[in-house]
A and B are shown apart, each in its own frame.
Chain A
Amino acid sequence: QQQVKQSPQSLIVQKGGISIINCAYENTAFDYFPWYQQFPGKGPALLIAIRPDVSEKKEGRFTISFNKSAKQFSLHIMDSQPGDSATYFCAARGQGAQKLVFGQGTRLTINP
């Protein structure tokens, strides 16, 4: 019940296309859902995050869509650029919990 399932494992998108990464969870106590971006040899950096009282959050080219009833959330990257090539992790955290539960990660490659 503590798992967050992320798909796909890897994704190749053409420059200018839309990249979509999906995550699903079981634990209804989760109340915070961040996405992290990680470049090789670097630590993860927070990209965007959402709480379950909102169905969508947009920051620049990055959008999180959240479906509370389906217990799913997804990251959409519009107008994908080669610089977006990285590994993306979704995560979840319960209220008052100190531990982030990470998905398995998606390696995104944007072809020029």
Chain B
Amino acid sequence: DTEVTQTPKHLVMGMTNKKSLKCEQHMGHRAMYWYKQKAKKPPELMFVYSYEKLSINESVPSRFSPECPNSSLLNLHLHALQPEDSALYLCASSQDMRRPGNTEAFFGQGTRLTVV
């Protein structure tokens, strides 16, 4: 099973709403990632969790709050978003890339988020 599952696939939320994106993998990977992708642009790294601890935060605004409840799950909590936050949010997982030989990252299908 090389699948990273993201829910929901589509989400429309108002600027005052609170919502969460969910990501799940069962490949035994110990690193999980959130990326944001705008149309016709490459994915931009937001957060990296390694062994359930936050290891990278790419200066993401606090209205995005990640959470890693266990090694298989990754959440992204959203609050008071702006219309410019509308994008495809991608989750990915991999073995610990800091170890030699661990390279491949598997991406989920993404959540298409629209902020109105």
Contacts and interface: CB of A to CB of B under 8 A. Distances in A.
A36 B43 CA distance: 11
Nearest to A94: B97
Nearest to B49: A98
Nearest to A100: B105
Interface SS of chain A: helix, strand, loop or mixed? loop
Contacts, number: 58
A12 interface: no
Contact of B55 (A32, A96, A98): A98
B109 interface: yes
Contacts of A102: 42-43
A82 interface: no
Contacts of A89: 42-43
A99 B104 contact: no
B50 A98 contact: yes
A103 B97 contact: no
Nearest to A95: B100
Given A44-B43, A96-B97, A49 B104 contact: yes
Given A44-B43, A104-B42, 13 more contacts: A32-B103, A36-B107, A41-B110, A43-B110, A46-B105, A49-B104, A93-B97, A96-B100, A97-B98, A98-B98, A100-B105, A102-B43, A107-B40
